[in-house]
Amino acid sequence: MELHIESTVRYCENVGERSRKSWYHAEKLLSSHKSEKIDMPTFGARSQKNLKCMHPLLRRVANAAIEHINFTIICSVRSKADQDQAYNLKRSRAHFGQSPHNYFPSLAFDFIPYPFTDEDWDDLAKFDAIAKVLKDVATPEVAIHWGGDWATFKDTPHIELQDWRKYIGKSYNITSLVVSKYNSAVHPNPYA
Ligand SMILES: [Zn+2]
């Protein structure tokens, strides 16, 4: 069991690494082929990889939403290196261990509209439309928060489970495995 968890965690960390190197180019190619007619949206390979690393509740929400509106899941688990980078680039205010992305399975995910161009980062309406569907399909089974609703630090791609800290180290003990492996020396898990 432990070996399986270790390799899954490694897999999930590498999703982020692969994103930076190859997915950006792939996305550009894909979004230039807009003529392709699709009856109902389905998740592409990048989203599928991130889905595998998400909490089952979030996975269910995303799978229900994709039937209504098209989007890509660009991030789920964020490793220490990725979290440090996000912090340094001011994309996140959280140090490693303080973000719901830093646990396995991930208690948050980030999405972008599909198809997507760089100008869409500033298109609040596109993110809002997807967030509305996500919140709609999540209710009443589970409450989620959208980063676009935050007053002080708008994080429009971000979705997280409400009260996500309650999921750490309780029903999903493997999260503490990740925390103890990467986090013990500098940042002891404050929520364990
Ligand atoms: Zn996020």
133-183 per-position pLDDT tens digit = 999 999 988 999 999 999 988 999 999 999 998 887 654 444 444 444 444
Nearest to 159, CA basis, from 186, 128, 189: 128
Gap from CA of 158 to ligand 1 centroid (Å): 4
Tens of pLDDT, residue by residue over 47-85, are 999 998 899 899 999 999 999 999 999 999 888 888 889
Task: Classify domain 2-183 at the CATH topology level.
Answer: Muramoyl-pentapeptide Carboxypeptidase; domain 2 (3.30.1380)
Gap from CA of 37 to ligand 1 centroid (Å): 30
Gap from CA of 10 to ligand 1 centroid (Å): 19
Domain ranges of the chain: 2-183
Nearest to 106, CA basis, from 154, 148, 152, 49: 49
Tens of pLDDT, residue by residue over 106-120, are 999 999 999 999 999
Gap from CA of 35 to ligand 1 centroid (Å): 30
Gap from CA of 77 to ligand 1 centroid (Å): 9
For the entire predicted model, the pTM comes to 0.74
